[in-house]
Structures are given as structure tokens and as C-alpha cells.
Amino acid sequence: MKDLLEKLSPWLFTIAIFALWEAACRIFNFSPFIMASPTQAFGAIIQHWQPLLRHSFVTLWTTMAGFALAVIFGVALGLIVGWSRTIYRGLYPVMIGFNTIPKVAVVPILIMWFGIGEIPAILTAFLISFFPIVVNVATGLATMEPELEDVLRALGARKLDIMLKVGIPRTQPYLFGSLKVAITLAFVGTVVSETIGANAGLGYLIALAGSNFQMPLVFAALLLLAVEGILMYAVFALIEARFTHWAFRSSMSAAA
């Protein structure tokens, strides 16, 4: 009984939130120009399913493209940074400074350079999701056990051997953990960019519907964004569990 409740609890909570939201809308009788109830939002999804599907797809593929770039460059830079202490020390302040800049501030520049369209969205997703990947990959390499390094060096291993045999495999849990964070950030990047300047995507749709006071459509788009985010998070959580099962098991080891 308790197990079943635990299994069902995510669904129960989701339903409860929708029910509360619906009840609040009915009790306070909000104007549909200000706030939409779940029934109105789901109604909008059914009514406008064609444009919603098209814009959802644009947001999904631009996010995935930006995220893919972030993974490629993030892993590469993370390996370089984790490889050498000098590079680590040199690049770290630069990266912190770069990461501190709110990405919203960069979007107008990207739009000036690349015009209205998908490219600024892809690049914003890339810029925002790239940092956690770099930091995690570099941390994974930097926290390698020095004694293990000694064992390998005493066998005549070169730095490259140590990286390939130990460094990179042990970085995997750090990398996959960061991907779950990065994919949600990538959605933030895409939608911010689409809201500021685009002609497609859920962010664009939200801005457009908002200016037309079509609140049900705005909330419909928000719901779809949430669904996309949850789905992608789940995909990467699955990949993580599949590739780094040893990291979860070994921490539970009886003999540490």
C-alpha cells in the first residue's frame, strides 16, 4: 500500500496542483485576459494544436542543437581544463566572469549578428548550458585519487594513458549529472531568445499570444514547455543510470 502510494505520488501531486489552480480560477473568477484556468489552457491546446505542435518542435530542435554544441565544446574544454593545472588556473576566472553575464543581455547582440531566427536561440541555449558541463568534467578529472595516479606512473604510464584509463571513465558520473542540469538550462536559453526576437518557437508564441491577451494560449505554451523539459530530463536521467550504474552502486558498497 505504501509502495503504491509512493509510486503514484508524482501523479497525485500533479493532479492536485491542477485542481488547486482550477479551483482558484473559479473562486476568484479571474478575467480570461489576466489568468487562464487549466481547462482553458487544455482547451487551447486542443483548439490550436497545429501551431502549438509546430512551435514546440522548433523550440525542441533549437534547444537540442544548442545543447549538443554545449556537450561537444563543454566536454572538450572540460578535458583541457582538467588536464593541466596551469590552464585550469588561467581559464577559471575568465569562465566565471563569462558565466556571470546574464545571457539575456547577449541575445540582442546575437540577433544583430545573425538576424531574427533559430540561430540566436541555438547559440543562447549553447551559451547558458555550456558552463556546468565544463565545470563538472574538469572537477571529475581534478579529483582523481593521487595514489591511483602513482600506481599507474610507477608502471611507466604517460599522462595520456592515465587520462584514458582512469580520468575520463571516472568523469562520467560528473558529466551525466551535469547534463541533467544543462538540458533544463538550454530550454531557458532558447525561450529567452525566442521571446526577445524570433519568428517561431514557444517563446515567440508566448510573447505573441501575451500581447494579444490570449491567456489560454500562453498557458498552453507554458504547459508544453514543461512537458518538453520533463521529457528531456527523463531521457538524460535514463542515460545516466545506464552508463554510470557503478557510481550509484559503489557508493552503497559495504566496504568503502
Partner 1 sequence: MSSSVDIDDITLTYKGASGGVLALQGTTLNVKRGEFAAVVGPSGCGKSSLMKLVTGLIRPDKGDISVFGDKVRGPVKIAGMAFQNPNLLPWRKVADNVLLPLEIVEPHRHRFRRDNAKYREQVEALLKTVGLSGFGDRYPWELSGGMQQRVSLCRSLIHEPALLMLDEPFAALDAFTREELWCVLRDLWQKLGFTVILVTHDLREAAFLADTIHVMSARPGRIVMTKAVDLPRPRDLEICFEPRFTDIVHELRAKIAEVRQT
Question: Given candidates 169, 213, 226, 234, which one binds partner 1 under the rule CB under 8 A?
Answer: 169
State yes or no: residue 165 binds partner 1 (CB under 8 A).
Answer: yes
Nearest distance in Å: CB 10, partner 1: 29
Nearest distance in Å: CB 143, partner 1: 14
Query: For residues 82 and 135, what is the distance between their CA atoms, to the nearest angstrom?
Result: 9
Alpha helices in 143-201 (DSSP H): 146-153, 159-162, 168-196
Between the CA atoms of 33, 35, 38 and 40, what dihedral angle is there, to the nearest 10 degrees?
Answer: -10
User: Interaction with partner 1 in 108-147: which residues (CB under 8 A)?
Assistant: 145, 147
Binding mask 170-209 for partner 1 (x = CB under 8 A): x-x-------------------------------------
Piece of the chain touching partner 1 by CB under 8 A; list 30-38, 118-126, 167-175, 180-188: 167-175
Q: 87 or 152: whose CB is closer to partner 1? A: 152
State yes or no: residue 253 binds partner 1 (CB under 8 A).
Answer: yes
Give me the helix-helix angle, 107-114 and 118-142, nearest 10°. Answer: 130
CB 103 within 8 A of CB 192: yes
Nearest distance in Å: CB 141, partner 1: 15
State yes or no: residue 242 binds partner 1 (CB under 8 A).
Answer: no
Question: Given candidates 27, 46, 94, 252, which one binds partner 1 under the rule CB under 8 A?
Answer: 252
CB 118 within 8 A of CB 191: no
Question: Given candidates 8, 13, 17, 150, which one binds partner 1 under the rule CB under 8 A?
Answer: 150
Between the CA atoms of 207, 210, 214 and 218, what dihedral angle is there, to the nearest 10 degrees?
Answer: 60
Question: Given candidates 166, 200, 209, 218, which one binds partner 1 under the rule CB under 8 A?
Answer: 166
How many C-beta atoms surround the C-beta of residue 157 within 10 A? 16
Closest among 103, 41, 27 to 70, alpha carbons compared: 103
